Amino acid sequence: MENWHELGPFTVFDLETTGLIPIRDRIVEIGAVRVEQDGTWSRFTTLVNPGIAIPVRAQSVHGITDEMVANAPSFKDAAYQFLSFIEGSKLVSHNARFDLGFMQENLARIGLPLIKTGAYDSIQLIRKAFPRLPSYSLQSLRVTLHLPEVEGDPHRAMFDAELTMHAFSLAMKELYNLYPRMSNE
């Protein structure tokens, strides 16, 4: 099914953080790509001031420094914008347990409502559509699936969200080819 987006809208999102533990660490960047039922895309990206120093180890992964987030919005301000952007859409993330877990913990910390819809994990969908790939990391999928060029730097939220959207799109098309009956229900 070429028009998989008609099942949407879908929002693929990615986070960059100060570390790996949601109860201790904080979000420093949010990137999201939303595809509407008509196939049009829109993007949301913001740096986030975490209110704590970004460890050197985290900086070496995503390249986001304390100076870069010094004048960025707080998570609360960024969260209101993000929640508005995703409203009414189905969420998707590459390793949804990590990204959704971080988002939920940060929302709870500031007293905002949690996301009740959950999120599809693009890794699981891509694995089902393309079994036995050597790796399901975004950088490997970029090469293996011949994903389009994406502007920006790997391990930045917008770059990873857009790359995930391309991989998710291919997986959805493939799954509907593998299971055509499902697309007619």
Out of 5, 62, 94, 155, the active site residue is: 155
> Is 155 in the active site?
yes
Query: What DSSP designation does 70 have?
Result: T
CA distances from 173 to 55, 82, 125, 128, 185 (A): 40, 27, 11, 12, 16
Query: Crossing angle for the helix pair 75-86 and 96-109, nearest 10 degrees?
Result: 120
Residue 131, burial from CB neighbour count under 10 angstroms (0-12, 13-18, 19+) = exposed
Secondary structure of residue 151 in the 3-state scheme: coil
Which residues are catalytically annotated?
155
